[in-house]
Amino acid sequence: GAIDGIVNSLGSRFRNTHRIRVAKERCTGCNICARNCMCGAIKMVDKIATVQQSSCMDCHECVDVCDWNAIEWTTASRNKTPKRIKKGVEIFPEPDWQVLTYSPRLEPTIETRSINWARVVNASILLGFTVAVAASVLIQ
pLDDT given at position 87: 75
pLDDT given at position 37: 92
**How far is C-alpha 117 from the geometric centre of its chain's CA atoms?**
39
Domains, in order of start, for the chain: 2-77 (3.30.70.20), 110-139 (no CATH)
pLDDT given at position 128: 78
pLDDT digits (tens, 9 = 90+) for 34-89: 999 988 999 999 999 999 887 888 888 999 999 999 999 887 666 666 676 777 76
Residue 140's Cβ-side half-sphere holds a number of Cα atoms within 13 Å equal to 5
pLDDT given at position 138: 60
pLDDT digits (tens, 9 = 90+) for 10-35: 665 665 567 888 999 999 999 999 99
Task: Tell me the pTM.
Answer: 0.48
SS3 (DSSP) at 23: coil
Query: What's the pLDDT band for 91 if we cut at 50, 70, 90?
Result: low
pLDDT given at position 70: 94
Q: What is the DSSP letter of 107?
A: -
**Where would I find the H helices in the chain?**
2-11, 32-36, 61-65, 83-86, 110-113, 117-126, 131-139
